[in-house]
Structure 1
Amino acid sequence: MLFRTIKSTTTMLTVVAISLVCAAVVVFSIEEYERLYLETTSSDLDGLSENMANDLVSLIALEPDVFEVTTTLLRLDRYENVKFAVVYDNEWQRINLYFGPLFDPYDFEEDVQLSELQNREFGVSVKDGELIALKLVGDTRLPLGYLLIVNDSVGPLNKSKLTLLKRVLPLVLLVLFIAIVGSLMIQRKLFLPLSRLSRLAQKISQTHDYSLRIDIRGKQEVAELSRDINSMMETISSETEKNSEYTQQLKEQQKTMERLANFDSLTGLPNRQFFMETLRIELAKAKRDKRNLALMYFDLDGFKGINDSFGHEIGDLLLLDVCQRTKTFLREGDLISRLGGDEFLILLHNDPDDIMLFEISERIVNGLSKPFEIQSWEMQIGVSIGIARASDSHFNVSEFISNADIAMYRSKMAGRSTHTVFVPDMMEDNKRRLLVANSISSGIKNDEFTVHYQAKVAPDETVVGYEALIRWHSEQLGFVSPAEFIPIAEQSGKILSITKWVIQQICEELNQLLGLHEGSVVLSVNLSAHDINNASLVDYIRAMFEKYKVDTSCIEFEVTESAYLENFDVANQFLNQIRDMGCSIALDDFGAGYSSLGYLTQIHLNTLKIDKQFVDNLNVSKRSTLVTKTIIEMAKQLNLHICAEGVETREQADFLIANGCHQLQGYLFSKPMSLQDILAS
């Protein structure tokens, strides 16, 4: 605690230093006083002994006069510090002895050693605190005797030093006190600016107010320190403000990051991560409380076509309207989340019963089927909903969502704008779908696929072309219908492998097929939406044509209108490259998808194929018959070849021929056949 502060430390060091200096002065003075005292006393004793030795010459020259010698020695009574004195003759025989007030017999025996005295030099010396004066009586050539005087130096010296201290010490203490008080006052004045700095630092520490400043006072070093501290405080204040602003920005960014991490940036709905975490918690609670949960999985039918046709900005606005409209159909407590694209999940509150599930699903289906108006454009979409219950998935998150996805897929297969509740039997269908998807690659590798050709005939029923149709006889699954494995291949990303295999197969078999006919025959090959979105397929087709030296005028590629319009610009670019090779383009299933009339003026086609659903209703539905006539007439005006597919009766054929249809295709004329069967027929 004593050395805790600079002030207390310097104060203590100053006091100690002054005290040490004063003590050193006193000690030095006493030592000097002791030296001077001994010199003076030795000088006095030397003079006294010299005088007495001279006086003793006459007394012991002939016959020693003891009385006179005694009288002479008694002159030492005036000197209180003399311990004893001895007069010896020239043979060192003691003539007389004098005892002073300080005489000590023990000291006498110690001090008077004749052998030592005989070897001692004449004069005054100091030994063991005593002044010893040894003088020769007479001349050195004719010594008469010797005089020894022993004087006490310690006692008188101590008394003298004590007297000196009594006189000097008060003055020294006064000087010491004045010096200490003066130094403390000087230190206080010097440390006052530092004390102010300390108080300022304490105040800043308590208030965190970095705008405080200190007056610039004190010596140059302290003033410079004050200026530096004020400058530092200005910097700290400035940096504090910046840090405060930066901290605020970080907090806002943190909120934004949390929102981005948990909510969809476009719609503001909870995103997949947030929804999945919430779903895990709710499933755990439901399982613990023995409750059930209901989940809806839905996506929008026809959204991709709108997004590609009108642009992503319009598509985003449509998604926002879909979200807002969907929220109005839900109950309080229902949680809706956007998974991405046009896919959404809804966690329904309080386990609604079947009637409530039906009502909510119907509200969503009917509500989203109504037209949307986006920037003066009127758009219509559908929605396919899959519904699942947690108990069917054993409260497992992945299975729960997978069940809803399977039910949603069922809704899509059943048609647009519908909803389906998951039942365990659907799992078997899903397992078959997975088995089919996993078997496609091995099926291609093991030559389980074959190409069948269905003839196209002119009005006079001569064969003018074929459509290449793929068939699959799986070693594990048996016969798998194209209606089953083609959609699965598209969803699993394996349709491109199938398309490449078909193109290579028809290139190998084309010459044999053409050899059966004298006139020109065109072979049609189907492309899916996934195919025309893959730019590398064009290079593969070109390579196959070059490898097998294919006459490209004999090849026609068929694209469904839905596939074409799903990504109009990409499809146009793809098919333009196909057309540049010399191939023709046919639009398949016309009228079964989007409203295609506006696009017919923007795309370059060679053939328009009338969908089977119109052919089936000829002479059955006046409306369908009228639409079919209109399609044929419109195609004529656009200089397109017209091919009707699915012709199964003579009445249908006669009607189509009568109305100017160029080509007919259907079971009435020929079923799909393998090349071997065609060659054998």
Structure 2
Amino acid sequence: MTLGRRAFLLIFPVVLAGYLVAAVSVYIAQGNSILALERARLTQRLDHAAALFRNEVSQSRSFLYSLLEGNAVRLFVSEADVTYRSNALALRLQQSIRSLSDDPKKFIAFAVINPDLTPGYYFENSEDPFAELSAPQIQLARRLVSGSQLRDWTFLHQDRARPLIVYSEFIDPVTFARPVPSAKRTALLVQVAIEPTQFLEMQKALQQEYGTELQFDTTPTVQPDNRLAASIRLAPSLFATLSVDADRDVGYMSHLKVLLGLGALAMSLFSVGLMFVLIRRFITDPISALDLQVTAVMSGHNETIKETAGGGEIARLTGNIRQLHDQSRTALHQVQRASWTDTLTGISNRAHFNLVAAGIVEDTQARDGHCALLFIDIDNFKFVNDKYGHEVGDDLLKTLAMRIDAAVRSITARRAMPEAVLARLSGDEFAVLLQSKPGDGTTREICAAIIALFSSGFEVRGKHYPVTASIGVAICPDDANDLAELISNADAAMYQAKTNGKNRSSRFSRALQDKRDRIRQIQEELRGIDADEQFHLVYMPIVDARGRVTGCEALLRWISPTLGNVTPDEFVPIAESSGLFTKIDWWVINRAMGEHWRLKELFGPETVLAINISSAELYSKSISDYFCDCLDRHGLEAKFIEIELTETFAVKLGDQLHRNIQSLRDKGFRISIDDFGAGYTSVQQIIEYTADTIKLDRALVQNLTGEHSLPALKAVIALCHAQNMAVVGEGVDTTRKMAMLTEAGCDHFQGYLISKPLNLTDLASWAIHNATVTAGEIAQTHVPARRAGATKLL
């Protein structure tokens, strides 16, 4: 985040908060003023409504007195002839009522109510010819008759009835004057009801404007000060109150709120913008300019930092940074030179090589060029280092680096090529990166020159040492598109050169890539494998000299739905190196023990089950516990289970591993050393082996089953017998090998001459068909029977 943006994000919230506080204060002050103004306006309008209401009341009283002063009402009341009164006098009274009305459309009703509360006369100027005295008016008449008042006016405003101002007065039917209170029960009650049109229009306008109903009550309603409300007196015991809801917008308060909010935001932006311009002009721009100079110096585009014009802190800071840069640049060059140089050989180290080589590879890709990486590994260097000492090894590496550098420089200089990059990547690994043209033979010539340095052993200080070089070559962009891939492919090609016999070069090829892809595919399949679906076991019989099956070796087979049939020689090393073999071993142990009863049915209850386990499993005590758990689960005895370890692993037995193996033996398990003779085993190590059985590797059997090697074979087997270990000859695929091993005293035999690995079904068929054929009978057809003597059962 830039300094200007950070300043904006820090300043803007503070300024905005200040303006918002000011806006809130203005809103509160203005809100109170607007509320007072609106309350005064509402009171004024209610006063106007009250005036209209009182005017309507006066009109109703005047209308009644005008009717009573005329003769129409008097004649109607005093006429005894009902028919004449109902026709002629009622019509004359109706005409009088109409003549007194200023507005013919205005609702006016006149009623004469008898002392028994029956209507004596009723008229209203409405369109209803069957209009009758309304229920509210009758209730009003009943209340007046039972009360003490002789005169009254009332505002009838029920929800479903027509709002009316009713003026009522009692009159004596004879004197037509106001009766004395004692004669009230014989007096007539006359009523004039007027609809207060103007007041109702005013009421409707107020209700629409403020969104609330006008309430009528006998006392004024007290409202809080922060609410818009007002009450007006319409009569001594009648008050009208209008109270606006608290959430209703009054006097454009919401508009004021929006305007104040927008104003606060606009003022904040303007203020921050102005401050930002000033800060940028006098603070951030000079700092940014200094930052650009420092960045340019750090990236190598500039060498120095220019001084800033003017004074102040930023100018002083620029000067100090410039001085610091000048001081640190010298130290940096010294540190870089030391950090990029291999301390032993004086050439580039891995870090410097990665930095320079990455740039060369990127440039090669950009210009469609060509470069080659030579990955050099010194063969047998560890042997020299261990035998002659580290000082000799260091001298060898320094001399080698100097000679490789000289050979590469001479070739590149003669061919007028860019200077090659030579580096020591690790202990005895070197790399050379060449920028050559395709097909010009430079890479081949340099590889030959480097290998020629080892033509008759590598000479250092007058002594020759038996080291050679294996070189792997990878080309960019043919074999790789980036440095990491280029190094990886060259490394793979180097191992191919070692496999092909060392002291040679090998070019990375599609076959190597396919092999790496195959390994990667096997690793991915093993990680997600369903062992029960894809794994199965086959068993290879082990027989004694008489041909009797004494045991079977459980061998794992894998048929992958994706990869097809994958041999153990291919997937077992990959599983072990990837740390995936634990679950495979545990599956094999459990499945083999679960099928052991089938082997006992075929070959007898003392048939031994041999199980191969990964060497790395013995580093953990959990494998011992798992063997015991499987014994209990399948009801087996430990003495009939033989655990096979490779001979190369047994050579490296340490104290902890020896204790783990001894723990298995103490629990009754048999220990077998497999592939004996495939590694580097000394006589002392044979003596120290803690095993029950030694299995001679097929290559050793092949070498020792000739006539001239028979004494050596007898000596090896005798040594094993002396250590109280039974001997199994592996790879018995001819009758001659069977006979020679028998002659040498071998106890047990295993190989294709006897049987290839079979599943349980085929093994049962083999057991039936070979019940009468014994290994001893095969051997007797070639050599005499072996000497008598006790042999150990497998």
TM-score range (shorter-chain normalised) is 0.5 to 0.7
User: Is the aligned partner of 1:514 residue 2:600?
Assistant: yes
User: Is the aligned partner of 1:553 residue 2:639?
Assistant: yes
> What is the deviation of 1:597?
2.7
Q: Which residue of 2 aligns with 1:661?
A: 746
In 2 relative to 1, CA 545–410 (structure 1 residues): closer, same or farther, beyond 3 Å?
A: farther
> What is the deviation of 1:398?
2.1
Whether the aligned pair in 1 keeps the contact of 2:375 and 2:432 (CA below 8 Å) is no
Matches within 5 A, 1:20-419: 272-287=350-365, 292-297=370-375, 320=394, 323-324=397-398, 326-327=400-401, 330-332=404-406, 344-349=429-434, 352-361=442-451, 363=453, 367=457, 385-411=471-497, 414=500, 419=505
> What is the deviation of 1:386?
3.2
Once residues 523 and 484 of structure 1 are traced to their aligned partners in structure 2, the CA distance between those partners, rounded to angstroms, is 24
SS in 2 for 1:564: helix
Once residues 330 and 563 of structure 2 are traced to their aligned partners in structure 1, the CA distance between those partners, rounded to angstroms, is 58
In 2 relative to 1, CA 302–353 (structure 1 residues): closer, same or farther, beyond 3 Å?
A: closer
Once residues 549 and 264 of structure 1 are traced to their aligned partners in structure 2, the CA distance between those partners, rounded to angstroms, is 62
Post-superposition CA distance 1:586-641 (Å, at most 9, x none): 2222222124333223332222222211322455584x555434422332333321
Which of residues 658, 663, 680 is equivalent to 1:572? Answer: 658
Post-superposition CA distance 1:496-554 (Å, at most 9, x none): 23222211211222232233233522222223343334554344334333433432212
Which of residues 693, 697, 702 is equivalent to 1:607? Answer: 693
Once residues 501 and 587 of structure 1 are traced to their aligned partners in structure 2, the CA distance between those partners, rounded to angstroms, is 21
Once residues 371 and 591 of structure 2 are traced to their aligned partners in structure 1, the CA distance between those partners, rounded to angstroms, is 51
One-letter code aligned to 1:360: I
Whether the aligned pair in 2 keeps the contact of 1:336 and 1:344 (CA below 8 Å) is no
Whether the aligned pair in 2 keeps the contact of 1:266 and 1:316 (CA below 8 Å) is no
Q: Which residue of 1 aligns with 2:566?
A: 480
One-letter code aligned to 2:734: T
SS in 1 for 2:595: helix
Whether the aligned pair in 2 keeps the contact of 1:407 and 1:422 (CA below 8 Å) is yes
Which of residues 659, 674, 699 is equivalent to 1:588? Answer: 674
Matches within 5 A, 1:537-552: 537-552=623-638
In 2 relative to 1, CA 317–252 (structure 1 residues): closer, same or farther, beyond 3 Å?
A: farther
Which of residues 523, 529, 535 is equivalent to 1:437? Answer: 523
Post-superposition CA distance 1:19-65 (Å, at most 9, x none): xxxxxxxxxxxxxxxxxxxxxxxxxxxxxxxxxxxxxxxxxxxxxxx
Q: What CA RMSD, in Å, does the superposition of the two structures yield over aligned residues? A: 4.3
One-letter code aligned to 2:446: M
User: Is the aligned partner of 1:449 residue 2:535?
Assistant: yes
One-letter code aligned to 2:762: D
One-letter code aligned to 1:331: D
Whether the aligned pair in 2 keeps the contact of 1:295 and 1:345 (CA below 8 Å) is no
In 2 relative to 1, CA 433–363 (structure 1 residues): closer, same or farther, beyond 3 Å?
A: farther
Once residues 411 and 458 of structure 1 are traced to their aligned partners in structure 2, the CA distance between those partners, rounded to angstroms, is 43
Once residues 383 and 671 of structure 2 are traced to their aligned partners in structure 1, the CA distance between those partners, rounded to angstroms, is 20
User: Is the aligned partner of 1:427 residue 2:513?
Assistant: yes
> What is the deviation of 1:459?
0.8
Which of residues 634, 638, 649 is equivalent to 1:563? Answer: 649
Once residues 579 and 383 of structure 1 are traced to their aligned partners in structure 2, the CA distance between those partners, rounded to angstroms, is 45
Once residues 419 and 577 of structure 1 are traced to their aligned partners in structure 2, the CA distance between those partners, rounded to angstroms, is 48
One-letter code aligned to 1:391: P
Once residues 461 and 411 of structure 1 are traced to their aligned partners in structure 2, the CA distance between those partners, rounded to angstroms, is 45
> What is the deviation of 1:458?
0.6
> What is the deviation of 1:400?
0.6
Matches within 5 A, 1:610-649: 610-618=696-704, 622=708, 627-649=712-734
Whether the aligned pair in 2 keeps the contact of 1:466 and 1:524 (CA below 8 Å) is yes
In 2 relative to 1, CA 336–493 (structure 1 residues): closer, same or farther, beyond 3 Å?
A: farther
Q: Which runs of 5+ in 2 are unaligned?
A: 1-327, 410-419, 437-441, 767-794
In 2 relative to 1, CA 508–269 (structure 1 residues): closer, same or farther, beyond 3 Å?
A: farther
User: Is the aligned partner of 1:505 residue 2:591?
Assistant: yes
In 2 relative to 1, CA 606–329 (structure 1 residues): closer, same or farther, beyond 3 Å?
A: farther
Whether the aligned pair in 2 keeps the contact of 1:532 and 1:570 (CA below 8 Å) is no
SS in 1 for 2:602: coil
Whether the aligned pair in 2 keeps the contact of 1:386 and 1:420 (CA below 8 Å) is yes
Whether the aligned pair in 1 keeps the contact of 2:701 and 2:731 (CA below 8 Å) is yes
In 2 relative to 1, CA 446–605 (structure 1 residues): closer, same or farther, beyond 3 Å?
A: closer
In 2 relative to 1, CA 660–287 (structure 1 residues): closer, same or farther, beyond 3 Å?
A: same
> What is the deviation of 1:472?
0.8
> What is the deviation of 1:473?
0.9
> Between the two proteins, what is the percent identity of the paired residues?
29
One-letter code aligned to 1:628: L
> What is the deviation of 1:561?
2.2
In 2 relative to 1, CA 490–458 (structure 1 residues): closer, same or farther, beyond 3 Å?
A: same
SS in 1 for 2:753: coil
> What is the deviation of 1:318?
8.8
> What is the deviation of 1:382?
8.5
User: Is the aligned partner of 1:464 residue 2:550?
Assistant: yes
One-letter code aligned to 2:756: K
SS in 2 for 1:295: strand
Once residues 303 and 516 of structure 1 are traced to their aligned partners in structure 2, the CA distance between those partners, rounded to angstroms, is 53
> What is the deviation of 1:348?
4.5
Once residues 572 and 678 of structure 2 are traced to their aligned partners in structure 1, the CA distance between those partners, rounded to angstroms, is 18
> What is the deviation of 1:304?
9.5
**654-663 or 343-352, larger mean C-alpha shift:** 343-352
In 2 relative to 1, CA 450–630 (structure 1 residues): closer, same or farther, beyond 3 Å?
A: same
> What is the deviation of 1:285?
4.5
**TM-score for both structures, normalised by structure 2:** 0.46
Whether the aligned pair in 1 keeps the contact of 2:454 and 2:467 (CA below 8 Å) is no
**TM-score for both structures, normalised by structure 1:** 0.53
Higher alpha-carbon Rg: 1
Once residues 671 and 355 of structure 1 are traced to their aligned partners in structure 2, the CA distance between those partners, rounded to angstroms, is 50
In 2 relative to 1, CA 645–289 (structure 1 residues): closer, same or farther, beyond 3 Å?
A: same
Whether the aligned pair in 2 keeps the contact of 1:297 and 1:343 (CA below 8 Å) is no
Whether the aligned pair in 2 keeps the contact of 1:303 and 1:315 (CA below 8 Å) is no
How many residues are paired up? 420
In 2 relative to 1, CA 354–672 (structure 1 residues): closer, same or farther, beyond 3 Å?
A: same
Whether the aligned pair in 1 keeps the contact of 2:373 and 2:473 (CA below 8 Å) is yes
Whether the aligned pair in 1 keeps the contact of 2:451 and 2:503 (CA below 8 Å) is no
In 2 relative to 1, CA 265–329 (structure 1 residues): closer, same or farther, beyond 3 Å?
A: closer
Post-superposition CA distance 1:389-440 (Å, at most 9, x none): 2332344112212212332443465567765321123212221221112112
One-letter code aligned to 1:293: C
In 2 relative to 1, CA 643–384 (structure 1 residues): closer, same or farther, beyond 3 Å?
A: farther
Whether the aligned pair in 2 keeps the contact of 1:653 and 1:664 (CA below 8 Å) is yes
Whether the aligned pair in 1 keeps the contact of 2:422 and 2:432 (CA below 8 Å) is yes
Post-superposition CA distance 1:153-209 (Å, at most 9, x none): xxxxxxxxxxxxxxxxxxxxxxxxxxxxxxxxxxxxxxxxxxxxxxxxxxxxxxxxx
Q: Which residue of 1 aligns with 2:160?
A: none
Q: Which residue of 2 aligns with 1:675?
A: 760
